[in-house]
Chain A
């Protein structure tokens, strides 16, 4: 285990549904990240939070909405998604933004139908 836990592991949702992905880290890290991994593509950074403040939003559509209530928890709220949003969503954390090793969760496999 890497110390980063994601739930759920698998999620199937309709395009009109609203769901949330959860990430929790027990490493005392200050930075947390959401990545999207589509088939045959490199990991794409979506959001970065450093000390609970969003420091980066890589032109992600508004149907993805992150929330970081504290430095240990990170959420990704999903609504009115499209089938092309189906992917593996990975959460990661590091000691500080851009430094130290990034520890990844197991990911949530999302399928939009």
Chain B
């Protein structure tokens, strides 16, 4: 069964600190992996997309890594800001899937405090 597991479920950090969110998946055959940021009560917004051949991709203070062998991804946030407080959702796309190709994780709820 295609699944995406994220950890931790929630995280509280001080403003200015770094943090890393984890995503493990069992989706196969793998097509790509995206990290979305979802502010409370709003729709998710894409941060990064990674394909099988990509190991690292950055978007400002956000850096995503992908290990396709171990089926793990991480999202590292540097020098966190209060506006980073949101849910971060890992979404894995299955290639040529007969069912829905997008498998969502439950998300990690990040709270950045002053």
By a CB distance below 8 angstroms, the chain B residues around A103 are: 46
The smallest C-beta distance from A6 to any residue of chain B, in angstroms, reads 8
Which of B37-45, B55-63, B70-78 contacts its partner?
Answer: B37-45
Within 8 A of B (CB), among A78-113: 88, 90, 92, 97-99, 101-107, 109
- In the complex, the number of residue pairs spanning A and B with C-beta atoms less than 8 Å apart equals 51
The smallest C-beta distance from A53 to any residue of chain B, in angstroms, reads 16
Q: CA of A67 to CA of B46 in the docked complex: distance in angstroms? A: 26
CB atoms of A98 and B102 under 8 A apart: yes
Q: CA of A68 to CA of B41 in the docked complex: distance in angstroms? A: 25
CB atoms of B106 and A106 under 8 A apart: no
Q: CA of A101 to CA of B102 in the docked complex: distance in angstroms? A: 10
Is A4 interfacial (CB-CB < 8 Å)? Answer: yes
Q: CA of A6 to CA of B41 in the docked complex: distance in angstroms? A: 13
By a CB distance below 8 angstroms, the chain A residues around B91 are: 102
By a beta-carbon cutoff of 8 Å, the part of chain B in contact with chain A is 4, 34, 36, 41-46, 49, 89, 91, 93-94, 97, 99-102, 104-107
Q: Which 6 A-B pairs have the closest CB atoms?
A: A104-B43, A98-B101, A42-B104, A43-B104, A42-B106, A104-B44
